[in-house]
Amino acid sequence: MLTHFRFFTILAFHVFLQEKVDLAVIEVGIGGAYDCTNIISQGFLPSVKQPEDAMVMLRSRAKEMSCPLWVCPELEDYQEDCGPFHLGLAGQHQRSNASLALQLSHTWLQRRCLPADKSFPFTSVDNTGVLQMTAFKPSPIMVKVDLWPEFCCSMPQERETQQPCLNNWCSTPHEHVRVAARLGKNYSTKTAPQIPGMEYQDAIYTLKTLQTSLGDSTLEKVQENYQLQLQAMRGFLERAGLTVEELDQLNIIHVTGTKGKGSTCAFTEQILRSHGFRTGFYSSPHLVQVRERIRINGQPIGEELFTKYFWQVYGRLDETKNAHGGTMLTHFRFFTILAFHVFLQEKVDLAVIEVGIGGTYDCTNIIRKPWVCGIASLGIDHTQILGDTIEKIAWHKGGIFKPGVPAFTVKQPEDAMVMLRSRAKEMSCPLWVCPELDDYQEDCRPFCLGLAGQHQRSNASLALQLSHTWLQRRCLPDKSFPFTSVDNTGVLQMTAFKPSPIMVKGLADTEWPGRNQTLKHGAVTYFLDGAHTMRSMQACVHWFSDTAAQHERNSSGPVARVLLFNATGERDAAALLKQLVPCHFDFAVFCPSIPEAMASCNADQQNMLTRCLDNERSWHLHNSLGNNNKGTQLLIEGSRQLVAEKKTDTLVFPCILSALQWITQGRDSELADPAQRVLPVKASVVAKAAPLCDAAEIHILITGSLYLVGGALKHLDTASYK
């Protein structure tokens, strides 16, 4: 990619061509011979008086290039009536600049207005000496335009209103000229459209240009380039104007895990915020808006703040790109650096940082001195990067351990715990296993958690230990805790403590959208959970079965159960679907994680739809209906038929909105917005909806992908995601 100034130069040329200017005044950036503006092949060269040595060199260069060169006269020489010029720019030195400007504009007007075959003396290639240009009497418009600031500020922008002003300034019709385009400091001849949020949307568009694919980030490749990975991240951090030493000021809580790390972070952040601390929270992925990844005091940063900090960081990285081989960082690395920058600028008391993938090689692991680390439940996921066994995955997760920094984990599979203990010993890190949540209570009253699901209890226990330890380090900095001993590297069982009322309230007040979330819209109840691993899907099924059963007991009539599913990436969709079969859905609906459909279907969308059809076939296989599978088709008029239609309880839609509108059958007002248009559904599919229309309530489980859940929330919770 080209540098900042080169880009602006090309952009200026493009703008001037598109706007059809009569001329362009181009200011050189630095020097001249090698300046990128010197791509111009035609021009002319007057000069003001120069030091003798400079004039000798200019004359030599002019002769070398067969260029006629003149020295401009003094400004007083232009006047015949002895009246002094009034210049819009103050300072004696501006008089030579004004003289040069008069010669430039006068010469341009001669070349523009006189016949092309007229031979001016300054066009002769033989006239290569440095000659003294004679003065002329400037026209009234030249004198007026010489008041540059007044002209620039008061001149109307629209061409329709420019002409009357020029008529007032010009003494003769032939002096009517248009406004010159001036690179860098002049106004456009058109007023730029004022689009609300333009800068924010521009930031979002630029963000999407950053690389997001894993590329060659296989396990072997990442391990091979371990030092390079960390050095690269440090380099990007420094290019953004930050240092690893500054990150120490953030008093970080660093959390990883396969399942529950986001929920653990949410619990921890809420507890510490409830104590009155100003919190920063960095998580991924986002559900609807990218700003959700960076939160201050529990709320995603606003568009204005995001825009401000985005361009600060991106601008610094872009400006230094050319000096570093044209390299720009990937999407997640950029967001990580942006989060650090935001938290430092906003002066948070602490930052809760969720690891992206793994731990050892994750870009968040540039953190040197976290205050405490946590590892949530481990399982098999991201095998392409982390490996295909629980031991390999645990090795990566344990990479966030730091010497002398207390670390906590929940109960893990035996092989995982052995590896975590080994990693803790290797890094001289004290490691504790959290107690059961029930052990914290002395009065036998159960905790009320803001996040639903039995599996959230271990996340809550981990959050209690993380926040408790952070508070001890913050409030009792001189106290020597046993867990700071570098000799204590075994995995020990941490004893429970009695949580303060603030901690208990923090657990109850925690919100984390898209995870075991229930939304009730009249007769339609949505159960949303972004489960996408085997263990998280097991937890999802347990939560949905219990919660949906409670809702059904309160229903006034029959309830229709519907599954809306999609899986992305390398997930084993068939294995995930197998766990959902016992939920006894009346319909299983599949769609890509695309919020709305487009009229035309590109190759990527077609591949997503094909995968949905594969998921549909897996569902039938697990329901022992494979022998009766005659195929299905997309359920939108005009779609390209993939397989022959069949009469079953499964359907495939091209987008989330079309699936939700069919499932709810007009019973959810959130989906009734006329602006939310989808392609018409086939009549044969409409007829299948009778059980949905007859049911007193409709229960919809949306799961398999956080992207699917996020796309659904965009339509279902419009108040939160405007």
Q: Are 371 and 405 in contact (CB under 8 A)?
A: yes
User: Nearest to residue 247, comparing CAs of 258, 256, 259, 234?
Assistant: 234
Predicted pLDDT of residue 525: 97
d(CA 495, CA 26): 73
Is the pLDDT reported for residue 568 higher than 90? no
- pLDDT range class, residue 688, cuts 50, 70, 90: confident
254 falls within a domain? yes
Looking at 509, 526, 545, the residue that finishes a domain is 509
Q: Is residue 190 part of a domain?
A: no
Could you tell me the residue range of the domain that residue 282 belongs to? 202-509
pLDDT tens digits, one per residue of 225-247: 655 777 789 999 999 999 999 99
Beta strands in 427-538 (DSSP E): 431-433, 491-493, 517-521, 524-529
Instruction: Grade residue 32 by pLDDT with cuts at 50, 70 and 90.
Output: confident
Confidence (pLDDT) at 178: 33
Tell me, yes or no, whether 419 lies in a domain: yes
The helix/strand/coil state of 222 is: helix
SS3 of the chain: helix, strand, coil, percent, to 5: 45, 10, 45
Please name the helix (run of DSSP H) or strand (run of DSSP E) that holds residue 279, with its range, or none.
strand 279-282
Average pLDDT over residues 352-376: 95
Query: What is the rounded (10 degree) CA torsion for 588, 592, 595, 596?
Result: -100
| Mean pLDDT, rounded, for 44-72 | 79
Give the Cα separation of 183 and 19 in Å (integer): 13
Rounded CA separation 83/73 (Å): 17
Higher pLDDT, 334 or 74: 334
In a domain, 610, yes or no: yes
Cβ(448)–Cβ(440) below 8 Å: no
**608 falls in which pLDDT band (50, 70, 90)?**
confident
On whether residue 189 sits in a domain, the answer given is no
**Given this model, what pLDDT does residue 123 score?**
40
Query: Do 525 and 504 share a structural domain?
Result: no
**Cα separation, 639 vs 633, whole angstroms:** 9
Is there a single domain that holds both residue 95 and residue 130? yes
Check residues 139 and 288 and name the one with the higher pLDDT: 288
- Residue in 350, 353, 373, 364 with CA at minimum distance from that of residue 471: 350
Range name among 2-11, 479-488, 620-629 with the lowest pLDDT average: 479-488
Indicate if the alpha-carbon torsion angle 160, 166, 172, 174 is positive or negative: negative
Whole-number average pLDDT of the chain: 80
pLDDT of amino acid 540: 95
CATH of the domain at 543: 3.90.190.20
Same domain, 283 and 409: yes
| pLDDT tens for each residue of 136-151 | 777 666 655 433 333 3
Residue 103 has pLDDT above 90, yes or no: no
Residue 404: predicted pLDDT = 94
Cα torsion 346, 347, 350, 353: sign: positive
DSSP state of 636: B
Cβ–Cβ < 8 Å for 374, 254: yes
Give the pLDDT confidence of 151-198 residue by residue, as tens digits: 333 334 444 444 444 454 444 444 333 333 223 333 333 333 333 445
Q: Is residue 551's pLDDT more than 70?
A: yes
- Rounded to 5°, the CA angle 457-579-590 comes to 110
Residue 187: what pLDDT? 32
Structural domain includes residue 722:
no
Angle of CA points 316, 317, 318, to nearest 5°: 95
Do 227 and 153 fall within a single domain? no
pLDDT, tens digit (0-9, with 9 covering 90-100), for 365-389: 999 999 999 999 998 877 777 888 9
Name which of 368-377, 392-401, 637-646 the model is least confident about.
637-646
* Mean per-residue pLDDT, 131-137: 71
622/705 same-domain check = yes
At 44, the pLDDT band (50, 70, 90 cuts) reads: low
Residues 159 and 234 in one domain: no
- Whole-number pLDDT of residue 98: 86
Give the model's pLDDT for residue 627. 42
Helix axis angle, 501-509 to 261-274, nearest 10°: 130
| Chosen domain end from 182, 210, 242 | 182
Q: What is the pLDDT of residue 155?
A: 37
Residues 6+ apart with CB under 8 A from 622: 574, 577, 578, 581
Burial of 706 (0-12, 13-18, 19+ CB in 10 A): buried
Q: Tell me how far apart the alpha carbons of residues 456 and 439 are, in angstroms, rounded to a whole number.
A: 15
Number of compact structural domains in the chain: 3
Percent share of the chain, pLDDT over 90: 46
Q: Is the pTM of this model over 0.85?
A: no
Is there a domain that residue 194 lies in? no
Query: What is the phi/psi pair of residue 607, to 5°?
Result: -65, -40
| Cα–Cα distance for residue pair 287/677, rounded to 1 Å | 22
The pLDDT, as a whole number, for residue 3 is: 73
Using DSSP's 3-state secondary structure scheme, residue 410 falls into coil
* 619 falls within a domain: yes
Residue 129 has pLDDT above 70, yes or no: no
Claim to verify: residue 43 and residue 175 sit in the same structural domain: yes
Q: What is the mean pLDDT of residues 40-62?
A: 75
**Do 277 and 228 belong to one domain?**
yes
Q: Could you please report the per-residue DSSP string of 125-186? A: TT--SEEEPPP----HHHHHHTSHHHHHHHS-SSHHHHHHHHHHH-SSGGG--PPPEETTTS
Are residues 472 and 379 located together in one domain of the fold?
yes
pLDDT of residue 45: 57
Question: Does the pLDDT value for residue 661 go beyond 80?
Answer: yes
Closest residue by Cα to residue 706 from 535, 521, 516: 516
For tokens 């003294």, name the residue: 132
Q: CATH number of the domain at 331, please.
A: 3.40.1190.10
Q: Is the pLDDT higher at 47 or at 250?
A: 250
End-of-domain residue from the set 479, 509, 539: 509
Say if residue 118's pLDDT is above 80: no
* Whether residue 124 has pLDDT greater than 50: no
Same-domain status, 576 and 471 = no
Q: Which residue has the higher pLDDT, 220 or 133?
A: 133
Angle subtended at Cα 349 by Cα 347 and Cα 351, rounded to the nearest 5 degrees: 95
Cβ atoms within 10 Å, residue 483:
20
Considering only residues 569 and 495, tell me which one the structure prediction assigns the higher pLDDT.
495
Residues 402 and 363 in one domain: yes
Residue 489 has pLDDT above 60, yes or no: no
Q: Is the pLDDT of residue 584 over 80?
A: yes
> Is there a single domain that holds both residue 489 and residue 588?
no
pLDDT band at residue 392 under the 50/70/90 scheme: very high
Residue 99: per-residue pLDDT: 86
For residues 682 and 408, the model is more confident at 408
**Does residue 308 carry a pLDDT above 60?**
yes
Calpha distance 680→168 (Å, rounded): 62
* Residue that wins the pLDDT comparison between 329 and 711: 711
Cα-based angle 705, 708, 714 (whole degrees, multiple of 5): 140
